C-alpha cells in the first residue's frame, strides 16, 4: 500500500482543518490511504488510525507545500 507525498500532505491539511490535529508526515500517509480503503469498507466497520509523532516538527515541509 502506498500514497504519494502530495496525497499525504493533502490529507494532513484536511485533518488539520477538520479536527485541529497536525499529524506527523508519517501518520499523514496512513490518513491519505483511507481514501483508497474506504470504497471497500462496509458502513458498519470501524477503522482506527494511530497517529504517532507531532506535525509541528514538520512545519518546514508543510510551509513548502502550502506555498
Give percent helix, percent strand, percent coil of the chain, each to the nearest 5.
65, 0, 35
Q: What is the pLDDT of residue 62?
A: 86
The whole-model pTM stands at 0.81
Q: What is the pLDDT of residue 9?
A: 93
Rounded Cα distance between 41 and 20, Å, is 25
Q: Where are the domains of the chain?
A: 5-62
- Reported as a pLDDT band with limits 50, 70 and 90, residue 7 is very high
Amino acid at each position: 500500500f502506498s500514497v504519494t507525498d502530495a496525497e499525504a500532505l493533502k490529507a494532513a491539511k484536511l485533518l488539520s482543518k477538520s479536527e485541529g490535529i497536525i499529524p506527523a508526515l508519517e501518520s499523514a500517509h496512513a490518513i491519505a490511504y483511507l481514501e483508497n480503503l474506504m470504497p471497500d469498507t462496509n458502513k458498519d466497520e470501524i477503522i482506527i488510525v494511530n497517529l504517532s509523532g507531532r506535525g509541528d516538527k514538520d512545519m518546514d515541509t508543510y510551509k513548502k507545500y502550502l506555498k
